Structures are given as structure tokens and as C-alpha cells.
Structure 1
Amino acid sequence: MGLIQASSNSAMLVRVDDGACQALAVYKPEEGERPLRDFPPRIYRRERAAYVLSDALGWGVVPATVLREDGPFGPGSVQRFVDHDPHQHYFTLHDSRPEAHGDLLRMAVYDVVANNADRKGGHVLRGADGHVWGIDQGLCFSAPFKLRTVIWDFAGRDVPDPLLRDLARLVDELPGELEELLFPAEQVALQRRAEELLEHPILPFDETGGYRVPWPLL
């Protein structure tokens, strides 16, 4: 249907149709990716990995995301489009919707485990049903710790016990598909980050003494 102009890579709004129903989605082809110094090519596969992790934990952070080899611009990820208010983002949700704080705290835990290097405020959407979603997770799962996020308001808060129980399952066994999507060192680092939260169940402060944030903030 068209290119999403604000995207740094070539993200496209598409219509998917199985003959019985239609839906909107966001298609991110490998062909449209800009080379990065600190991430290997095919970051679209990390979009799928982010969904697999969210689904395995049962947290509903990431909209349904699949891989497609036969897209109009070649291989890429296809993620369900979230019907949302474009004027709402992390900062407005945190400041004006206290009922969303539980979802935002869960997303903060998710980002620590996934090692999200690009959690901008505009990557946090409130769906029409009130559910809070995280999008644009292509820069996740690096083995070295690279957390860059705007969600620092919960630093120092305890990780709730239900989330810790979910993380314990991840430590016991990673979803099998992640073995295909991530490098071995990244798989080990993912489980280690989960283990560290179980051993010290507190959301971390920025270890640099400041706040490691992406740019732009939105």
C-alpha cells in the first residue's frame, strides 16, 4: 500500500489476504535494510525472534510476526499492524495513563532480556483495545549488553514474581526456533540475562551513570 515514511529502513504498509479475510501488516524486506556497524544483515529475522520470545513468555509485548520469503521485495518480516492512536507513545502513556504502568514495566523487563538497543518512545503503541504493544525490535539480541531505551522510569523496581516465573522457563529451555534465528553466542547471552534477573530481580539502572537512550527519542 505504501512506504512508511518515518522508518529508517524500508518498512511498508501492506494488506494481507487469505481469500476469506483481510488485515493490515508492516512488511520489512531485507532489501530495504541499511547496513549497520554493530548488527549483522537480515535484522528482519530478529523481528521474528522478538515475537517468538514474547510469545514463549506469554507476555504479549510484540504483535504477531512471521517471515515471508516471497514478498514483493524479497524475504522479510511481516508484522500485524496495530490500530492505535498515533498521538500516544511511551511518554504520554507513562505520564497520563497509570493503568498502563504494569504493561510498561513488563516491557522494560522484556527489553532487558531481549537486550533491546533501540526502544524509542514511538515504538510503544496503545492499541484500540487498550493493550500496550512494542514494535521495531530488529535491534535486539546482541551478545554484548547494548540496552538503549527510553523506559528508565522503572529502574530499581522489583521484577514481579509472575514475570520471574516466566523467565525461569526461559532459563530452562529456549524456544527451538530461536536456535535458527540467533547466533549461538546470542542464545547463551539471552539465557544469561534471564538468569541475572532471577538472581537479582530488580530492573537495572544505567550502568554508565547516565541514561543510555536511542536517538531520536520518538
Structure 2
Amino acid sequence: MNPVPDLRDPAVLEILEHGRMDVTGRMVDASNATLFGTVQADGVELRCVYKPVRGERPLWDFPDGTLAGREVASYLVSEASGLRVVPPTVLRDEAPFGPGMVQAWVSSGDESALTDPETDDFDGDLDETTIHLAAESLVELCAPDEIPDGWLSVLRARDGGGDPVVLAHADDPTLRAMALFDVVVNNADRKGGHVIVCRGTDTDGTTAERTGVYGVDHGLTLHTEPKLRTVLWGWIGDEIGEEHTAQLKELRDRLNGELADVLGEHVTRREVAALRSRIDHLLAEPRFPGPDGFGPAIPWPAF
């Protein structure tokens, strides 16, 4: 096999959309069918996540379109804005279990959980073969006196034993960009476990330095009504800053062109209009917002 290209290489999207796909397992913690596999083309093999539309559970509050389509639309917004916090994602028609979202796998560098010791293949039963995954996160529940230096507190609570705990996250620039992205796409499900620290692997197989931070699981996005639920509330009231303001302006300009039509293939016109409205509001008041008071501010479970 040839070396795996960088995730920013345009060839990655081509491989995800047209390469030969093999499903090797299922992620057991996902509420909808979430499969793990590989996709190959031109001697390059990529690991991927595949979410077939047929495996989606209907949601009364997201009745339009598909969750797979919302994942792809969120990726397009991430790229068009320059925030680039979502792994390469495509909507693929030809796949083992029908049309669905296919996304490049991003790894924390610990690959020990990616194989199932009980089986070597996937026989087509969505409940048969499973993969247990644990992702490194920049979001943690900590004792009040054990919050890492430089981290931002989000919520104080008590655990099941009655002991005080604090939900906190790193004051990290990429995580900050992800928090802004969540506001833009109205993400209703930013759990701590949806924040993946991507690390490379050295030639000796050990984990190398961090290569990026990505957000995954964006099926609950782009609704017309305010639904922002996130664990990334640490920057409430902070100025967005010149760089992010420029990115929002660029995104808003692109929504006046063909980007709106492309997004319209995955979400409704009203949802595209609501996206424009959220960006306009952020440009008029360029600060990180707080919870709006309607509904829970943090998803459950938080991880």
C-alpha cells in the first residue's frame, strides 16, 4: 500500500467517495448504526467511519432529511469557513449497506481497541461484530482541586457518590474554533467524547505528537430552532477575534453563491437561511454566546 495522504489532501475525498469499501466492525456506543472499515483506491487504504441511512433512528425533532446529510453539510460548512474542525466527509451512494455518510477515521494514536479479538471479519449483521473505542479528549470531569492548569471550568456538579466534580475543557485554539463552529451549525450534541485529539504514530509504533483536533458526530446540526448543546462553554462572552471574524465573513459571502445550493442538497432552504441568520448575528455581536435558556445547555450524557 502507498502512504496514507494527509487528511487535507483532496485525494482523500475521492478515495472516500469512490474507493472499494470493506466493513470490519461496529462501534457499540453509537445510538445509530455506526460502522468501521477501510476504503481503498490506487494503492492507498484509509480507515473510515460509515453511517448508513438505513441504520438511522427517526427523530421527531429532526424530521427533515437524513442525519448523514447533516453530517456532510456540517463538513462543508467547516471547510468553507476555514475552521476545518471536521474530518473529510462524503455522502456515498454505493456502499455495503446502502447510501450513507463516510468519514475519514481520525485516531488518538492508540490503536489497541480497533480490533475485535473474537472475529476477523464482518458478516453483514449490524449487531454481530463490535468494536470498543475510547478516544482521548480535551474535555474532562475533574475534582475541583484537580483541574489542569489553563483549563476552563464549565459546570460544577456532584457525582453519583455526592462528591463535587467540575466539567472543564482545555483553553486550546483548535477547541475554540470548534466551539465557534458549533455555534454556527447550531450543534445540539457536542459531547466530550466527540472531541478527538488526533496523534500520529512513530516508526517504532509509539504515539507521536498531536496532528490535529477534530469534532465528530454532527448529525444533530443545522436546525432552524436554537438547539446549541455543548460541553464547550468556556469562552462565554469572549470576543471571537479578528481571525474568526474574517472566517465568518468569508463563509457568509460564500453562502450568497453556490455553497447555499450545495448545502440545499442535504438540508432544507429554511435551515440554510437560519445558518445565514446565525452568522449575521455573530458578525453583529462578535462574542461567544451563552446558553439561550431554552432547553438544556449541555447534552446528556456529556461524554
With normalisation by structure 2, the TM-score equals: 0.68
**Alignment partner, residue 164 of structure 1:** 245
Tell me whether 174-183 or 31-40 shows the greater mean CA deviation. 174-183
**Alignment partner, residue 28 of structure 1:** 51
Q: CA deviation at 1:21?
A: 1.0
Amino acid at match of 1:108: A
Residues 161-201 of structure 1 show CA distances to partners (whole Å, capped at 9, x for unaligned) of: 11111111222232241122221110110011011011001
**Alignment partner, residue 173 of structure 1:** 254
Which of 181, 196, 203 is equivalent to 2:281? 196
Segments of 5+ residues of structure 2 without an aligned counterpart are 1-23, 111-133, 151-169, 200-209
Residues 64-85 of structure 1 show CA distances to partners (whole Å, capped at 9, x for unaligned) of: 0011111111000000000115
Mapped to 1, the partners of 2:135 and 2:45 lie a distance apart of 26
**Alignment partner, residue 44 of structure 1:** 68
Mapped to 1, the partners of 2:73 and 2:138 lie a distance apart of 23
Amino acid at match of 2:293: T
Amino acid at match of 1:178: L
The number of equivalent residue pairs is: 218
**Alignment partner, residue 145 of structure 1:** 226
Mapped to 1, the partners of 2:93 and 2:245 lie a distance apart of 36
Residues 132-184 of structure 1 show CA distances to partners (whole Å, capped at 9, x for unaligned) of: 10000010000111111111111111102111111112222322411222211
Change (3 A) 1:71 1:172: same
Sequence identity (%): 39
Residues 32-86 of structure 1 show CA distances to partners (whole Å, capped at 9, x for unaligned) of: 1011010125110111111100111111200000111111110000000001153
- Please say if residues 80 and 254 of structure 2, whose CA atoms lie closer than 8 Å, have aligned partners that are also in contact: no
Mapped to 1, the partners of 2:253 and 2:212 lie a distance apart of 29
Task: Specify the structure having the higher radius of gyration (Cα).
Answer: 2
Query: What secondary structure, in the 3-state scheme, does the structure 1 residue paired with 2:172 have?
Result: helix
Mapped to 1, the partners of 2:48 and 2:135 lie a distance apart of 20
Mapped to 2, the partners of 1:97 and 1:110 lie a distance apart of 25
Query: What secondary structure, in the 3-state scheme, does the structure 2 residue paired with 1:109 have?
Result: helix
Change (3 A) 1:61 1:198: same
More helix by proportion, 1 or 2?
A: 1
More strand by proportion, 1 or 2?
A: 2
Change (3 A) 1:80 1:38: same
Q: CA RMSD in A?
A: 2.1
Segments of 5+ residues of structure 1 without an aligned counterpart are none
Mapped to 2, the partners of 1:71 and 1:81 lie a distance apart of 16
Which of 244, 265, 268 is equivalent to 1:183? 268
Mapped to 2, the partners of 1:9 and 1:30 lie a distance apart of 9
Mapped to 2, the partners of 1:108 and 1:116 lie a distance apart of 9
Amino acid at match of 1:139: L
Which of 119, 132, 139 is equivalent to 2:213? 132
- Please say if residues 140 and 192 of structure 2, whose CA atoms lie closer than 8 Å, have aligned partners that are also in contact: no
Mapped to 2, the partners of 1:8 and 1:96 lie a distance apart of 31
Which of 15, 30, 40 is equivalent to 1:7? 30
Q: CA deviation at 1:28?
A: 0.3
**Alignment partner, residue 188 of structure 2:** 117
Change (3 A) 1:23 1:185: same
Q: CA deviation at 1:217?
A: 0.5
